[in-house]
Amino acid sequence: MDAAIEVRGLTKQFGGRRAVDDVSFALPRGAFLSVFGPNGAGKTTLLRMLATLTRPSAGDIRIGGVDAKEEPDAVRASVGLISHSAMLYPDLTAEENLLFYARLYGVPDPERRVLELLDAVGLRHRRLDRVRTFSRGMTQRVSIARALVNDPAVVLLDEPYSGLDPHAVEIFDELIGSVRAERTFVMVSHDLEKGRALADHVMVMARGRVVRFARADELDAEEFRALYRSTVGTGVA
């Protein structure tokens, strides 16, 4: 398997609590993994470690064959993250925000790339408006453009549909469809139907551990719902 993401024995401890506890998996290039589980299961902590925003207490991460511990900058250059935080500067315009990130990543012809992305998320007409004047849905659309500005090989999504209006959901789905064949996705979601519809791999977590990691076609809908219900019943980690 040509793995895009390899995780071995990954653990994150906060005080006496293990938010992520000995997690291991490998995801092939071009795959879409949806991660499910109750609140406190360790899903977002896992995503933050994959993005190199949080250092593991133990274990190893390799993104595209690159060791995240040894070469974190190289990993960050190949990863895009959409999280609960937009990671945008509210007093800058949409265009200025995206140009800042494009130049930070050394994107060739950043002006052209930014306009392409603003077109893709349907916000070119608002490019000169400050982000603080945007609705939650519009801000999230700029955040999606920010996450794609460096043309990442791996895209990490933490509840990406949160706060999106129906039009923005449609735009986001089209964006995923247009770039899916070229990238690997890991999405944390509470939306079982949406998450399963997008995924070709699924992971269920509880209390920081992996309850099940499988190809989506190995779990039929009824079996998956039963597994998820029993997992949520274990409570918060």
Neighbours of 227 (CB within 10 A): 17
pLDDT in the model for residue 7: 97
Question: pTM for the full model?
Answer: 0.89
pLDDT in the model for residue 169: 84
pLDDT in the model for residue 1: 57
Beta pairing partners, 209:
206
Please list the ranges in the chain whose pLDDT falls under 70.
Answer: 1, 233-237
The two structure tokens encoding residue 206? 């509880």
Provide the CATH number for the domain formed by 1-78+199-237 in this structure: 3.40.50.300
Q: How far apart are the first and last CA of the chain?
A: 32
pLDDT in the model for residue 54: 94
